[in-house]
Copies of this chain bind each other. A is one copy, B any other.
């Protein structure tokens, strides 16, 4: 966790409009060795939960989720929700809507019914948790499938936004974020919780 905070301080770039860019190790270039350490920490936090499936969303979530999966007992498969700009979805899928503040528009996410079921104990893994992130929609997808949600493992949470607390309090779901940002500003830098 301290490693991650250090890495965000050193390599993250803060822009106006509440934007944190971590393209250098998460969102474009993936520091796989480092992700493996993050995966170990997530596996430690969710030890004993007998996760049968890891659910994430394309594209940046896939790397974190796959590398983390290798650290969990039995190496659970990763299912990644697909993004679609339209409602043109084929056949048997669970779908949910996300509003992206970054892009200023809605998009749908979908998961094939074939790959998520009521027998699953699901850990959701994603890179970011903030206002308008995909987590509530991934939870919605699990609910549609009747799958049990073990919790959510997140790399970076903007803790000054409501995204995480809504899930923790309203849904009663365990959310473990490896770095929780208390505040950030292009001039003053970044503070962690």
A residues apposed to B, CB below 8 Å: 23-25, 28-33, 35-36, 58-59, 62-63, 65-67, 69-70, 75-80, 82, 111-112, 114-115
Contacts and interface: CB of A to CB of B under 8 A. Distances in A.
Tell me which of A36, A58, A77, A115 has the highest count of chain B C-beta atoms within 10 A of its own C-beta.
A77
Contacts of A115: 23-24, 28-29
Contact of A32 (B28, B66, B82): B66
Oligomer: number of copies: 2
Contact of A29 (B25, B28, B30, B78): B78
A136 to B, nearest CB: 21
A46 to B, nearest CB: 16
A114 to B, nearest CB: 8
Given A77-B31, A77-B32, A78-B29, A66 B69 contact: no
B77 A29 contact: yes
A78 B60 CA distance: 12
A33 B69 CA distance: 9
The CB with the most chain B CB atoms within 10 A, among A25, A31, A78, A82, is that of: A78
